[in-house]
Amino acid sequence: MIPTKWLLWAVMLWLGAATCDAGMDAVLAELPVRSKIQAEFEEFRHSPARRLPGRFSGIMRWDAERGLSLEYQRPRQQWIALTPYGSWRRTPDGAFRPLPSGGDSEVWTRLLFDVFAGRLDLWQESLEVRMHAEGTLAMRIELMPVQGGELAGLFQSMQFEVLEQQIRAISVRRDQRNRIEIRILSVDPQPQWSVEEQAAVFGPQENE
């Protein structure tokens, strides 16, 4: 099962916003230490500027010690590594450069920093459970900004679709025309990575 908090974190980072290691630490501290997961994903970005959503797909890798690596394969190869030691973008020559901080506005960036700093109290949760006829259990977790909170007006909601203890889809909605939908296509719960692969995937680590 993919931990909800991790996905929440991943989603926030998918938004492309800047990160700060402080926030990362706070979130990482709450994640299960055992996890090492690899999953294929498909992502649709709905933007007010485009009539059709942008489609991305790739592989995500999670290592409790090293962090999260997103390998986008389409529409073009792109690596992003979000680790407790920093956030990186891998350049075509294999070098890791820090992921740019900043955002489309100063307020947007500041609020995201606060989220990464672990201020999840700005969200209110709701849970919807459905039992299907064939006996499978489906859940929908929805996070909405607390009314009057700092995030109110910036996000409408985040939704996690869970089926048979696996998160299958995530949706982040800023407004009607600005949202991201992620579908988890397949999950390898026990991936094996070589040391070289780990270095190439997760980027610089403090202890190296």
Partner 1 sequence: MAERLSRCLWYAVLLITAVYLAMLDWSSVLSTNVLDLLPADKNEETWVVQQMATGSQGRVVLGVLEGPAAQRERWADGIVRDLEGSGLFVQVLRLDRAHGFTEPASIWWEDRFALRFPLWLSAAASDGGVDPSNLDELVLYAVERLEAFYEDPGYTAFEGLVPGDPLLLMYSGLLNWMETGLAQRFAGAQGHTLFWLEQKDSPFSEAGQGIVLDRLLGIPGLWAAEDVALRWRFSGAVSFATANRTAMQREITRLNLLIPLLVIAVIGLSLRQVRILIPVVCVVLSGVAGASVATVLLLGQLHVLTLVLGSILAGVAADYALHLLARNGSLRSVNKPLLIGVFSTVIGFLVFLLSDLPVLRQMAIFVAAGLIFAAVTALVLSLWVAPVPNRRASSVSLPDIRLKASWLVPAWLVAVSGLFWLTWRDDLSDLEYPLPEVRLTDQTVRAAFGDDGAQVPVVVFAHQRDTMLHRMEYLLTAIEPAGPVGPTVDVWLPGSVQIAFTRQWLEQHAAPFAQALYHELYQAGFDPEAFESFFADWSTFVEAASDPAYFDAAMDRFQYSLNGPLAGLYPAANTGQGLHMTTLILEGADQQELLDKLAGLDGVLRLDTLGYLNQLFSRYRVELWIFSAIGLLLLTLVVVLAYSWRLLPWLVGLPLATLLATLGLLGWWLSAVNLFHLVGCILGFCLALDYGLFALTCKQLSERFPRSVHLSAATTFTAFVLLATSSIPAVQALGLTVALMVLLGWFSSLMLFQQFTPSTESIRNLNE
Task: Using the minimum distance from each CB to partner 1, give the nearer residue, 59 or 162.
Answer: 59
Q: How far is CA 73 from CA 10, 29, 39, 53, 174, in A?
A: 17, 30, 13, 17, 25
Task: Using the minimum distance from each CB to partner 1, give the nearer residue, 90 or 123.
Answer: 90
Shortest CB 58 distance to partner 1, Å? 8
Give the interface with partner 1 as residue ranges (CB under 8 A): 14-18, 20-26, 43, 45, 47-52, 54, 56, 70, 72, 75-76, 78, 80, 85-86, 89, 97-106, 108-110, 113, 117, 206
Shortest CB 126 distance to partner 1, Å? 27
CB-based contact 103:112 (threshold 8 Å) = yes
Task: Using the minimum distance from each CB to partner 1, give the nearer residue, 104 or 134.
Answer: 104
Shortest CB 78 distance to partner 1, Å? 6
Using CA atoms, how far apart are residues 179 and 137, in angstroms rounded to an integer? 26
Task: Using the minimum distance from each CB to partner 1, give the nearer residue, 103 or 142.
Answer: 103
End-to-end Cα distance, the chain: 30
Using CA atoms, how far apart are residues 158 and 181, in angstroms rounded to an integer? 10
Q: Specify the 3-state DSSP secondary structure of 34.
A: coil
Burial of 110 (0-12, 13-18, 19+ CB in 10 A): exposed
Task: Using the minimum distance from each CB to partner 1, give the nearer residue, 154 or 163.
Answer: 154
Shortest CB 72 distance to partner 1, Å? 5
Shortest CB 163 distance to partner 1, Å? 25
**Cβ count near 164 (within 10 Å):** 12
